[in-house]
């Protein structure tokens, strides 16, 4: 039986990863490619290598392969429409990257040895779950047809970083504005000031746990804290017993209903 060997390589600046479309949201939420039951997660360093890798693996219907636990399986029919390619910039660990090599037994044929010499350099492995930034999603059907169509995506962590910077800047601007108010004006603005501070505090605590939809919704507004503050004051004045945990989801749902074709027709 052949023995698998690994050679350590330097961290690449960019890698490509093939996955199913249904995995995209969880990948962007995690900000990493998870290895699941395997020791490594696997990538290609160029699109040319990715195409060659796909042609020798997932695009070979019926071809046998072994899973991480050694189970023998066969590739099913490949559906390009159900897959995406991710272009990623690895971050963190430098010394966790490896390339597969193989120690050949004397009984291996020249044909097998040549095939493996050509196949193993196509991919590169990362020991563990690989964190990334600067994600780009590439359309697989167009890629296989020779055309590169892609769009940028931000991880949930990157979305929160942008939102945090925006709300901190907004809060600083709001506080500077208070310096120009007279004492009576400050008293009259007490509820507004308190709501602004409360929304900023709650958002800071909950920010990393917000869903991608909530983060994207807030980033669509120029002044997220002001939007939250006004919604909070409106609900408190109506004595609806609103909590901040439900405020954001309710506000997002209301905005989506107002934007729907049905609502616009009324």
| pLDDT tops 80 at residue 242 | no
Closest CA to 222 of 158, 146, 152, 167: 167
Among 73, 78, 50, which residue's Cα sits nearest to residue 63? 73
Q: What is the DSSP string of 251-264?
A: HHHHHHHHHSHHHH
Of 4 and 191, the one with more pLDDT: 191
**254 vs 224, which has greater pLDDT?**
224
The per-residue pLDDT for 105 is 56
> What's phi and psi for 5, nearest 5 deg?
-130, 160
> 252 falls in which pLDDT band (50, 70, 90)?
confident
**Cα angle, residue 243 at apex, residues 239 and 246 outer, rounded to 5°:** 115
- Measured CA to CA, the distance from residue 139 to residue 137 in angstroms comes to 7
pLDDT tens by residue, 128-172: 999 999 999 999 999 999 999 999 999 999 999 999 999 999 999
Domain ranges of the chain: 3-153, 157-265
pLDDT, tens digit, 9 for 90 and up, residues 115-125: 778 888 999 99
Residue 260 has pLDDT above 70, yes or no: no
DSSP 11: P
Q: Average of pLDDT values for 200-205?
A: 93
Mean pLDDT in residue range 189-211 = 92
Query: Which range, 170-184, 232-246, 252-266, is most confident?
Result: 170-184
Q: Is 90 exceeded by the pLDDT of residue 36?
A: no
Which tokens in the block code for residue 183? 């004492």
- Entry pTM: 0.81
């Amino acid at each position: 039986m052949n023995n698998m060997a690994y050679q350590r390589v330097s961290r690449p600046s960019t890698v490509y990863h093939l996955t199913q479309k249904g995995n995209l949201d969880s990948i962007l939420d995690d900000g990493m490619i998870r290895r699941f039951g395997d020791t490594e997660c696997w990538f290609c360093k160029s699109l040319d290598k990715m195409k060659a890798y796909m042609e020798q693996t997932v695009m070979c219907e019926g071809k046998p392969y072994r899973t991480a636990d050694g189970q023998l399986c066969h590739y099913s029919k490949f559906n390009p429409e159900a897959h995406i390619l991710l272009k990623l910039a690895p971050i963190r660990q430098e010394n966790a990257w490896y390339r597969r090599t193989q120690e050949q037994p004397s009984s291996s044929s020249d044909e097998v040895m040549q095939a493996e010499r050509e196949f193993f350099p196509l991919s590169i492995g990362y020991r563990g779950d690989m964190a990334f930034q600067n994600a780009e999603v590439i359309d697989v059907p167009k890629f296989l047809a020779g055309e590169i169509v892609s769009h940028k995506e931000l991880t949930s962590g990157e979305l929160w970083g942008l939102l945090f910077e925006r709300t901190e800047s907004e809060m600083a601007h709001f506080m500077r504005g208070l310096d120009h108010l007279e004492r009576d004006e400050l008293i009259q603005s007490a509820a507004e000031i308190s709501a602004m501070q409360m929304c900023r505090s709650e958002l800071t605590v909950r920010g990393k746990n917000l869903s991608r939809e909530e983060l994207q919704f807030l980033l669509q507004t120029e002044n997220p804290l002001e939007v939250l503050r006004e919604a909070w004051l409106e609900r408190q004045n109506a004595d609806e017993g609103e909590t901040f945990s439900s405020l954001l989801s309710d506000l997002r749902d209301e905005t989506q209903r107002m934007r729907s074709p049905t609502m616009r027709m009324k």
